[in-house]
Amino acid sequence: MQIEVAYSPAPGQVDRVTLDLPAGAQLGQALAASGLLERHGLEPAAVHAGIWGRPQSPDAPLQEGDRVEIYRPLAVDPKEARRQRSRQGRSSGVLPRKRPAAAEGR
């Protein structure tokens, strides 16, 4: 079966490998076969990965056409990033954009 393994080492960069694996292959086997862990210096025990955007364990079974994704750790908590953007907007005099009011008569 054919699957794709993808890793984004930095924003705007994607390293992808297409593999032909035997039926019944698992996510961990795809990670090992891809060579991406070694290429990017990732520790196999510390890697978080998933299938089509859903985190999975290494023993998760794969299906034809699956996309295995290796996830980077978050640099900043998303809530904290929003707080920082909001503070920057207030200090620069630029207010955050508001949602448009609903059209009347709807």
**Confidence at residue 45, expressed as pLDDT on a 0 to 100 scale:** 86
Q: What pLDDT is attached to residue 3?
A: 96
Report the 3 state secondary structure along the chain: CEEEEEECCCCCCCEEEEEECCCCCEHHHHHHHHCHHHHCCCCHHHCEEEECCEEECCCCECCCCCEEEEECCCCCCHHHHHHHHHHHHHHCCCCCCCCCCCCCCC
Say which residue, 4 or 97, is predicted with more confidence: 4
When divided into structural domains, the chain yields a total of 1
Please indicate, yes or no, whether the overall pTM of this predicted structure exceeds 0.75.
no
Domain with residue 40: its CATH number is 3.10.20.90
99 in a domain, yes or no?
A: no
Q: Which domain holds residue 64?
A: 2-71
How sure is the predictor about 99, in pLDDT bands with cuts at 50, 70 and 90?
low
| Residue pLDDT, tens place only, 34-79 | 999 999 999 888 899 999 999 999 999 999 999 999 998 777 787 8
Residue 62 maps to a domain: yes
- Is residue 6 in a domain? yes
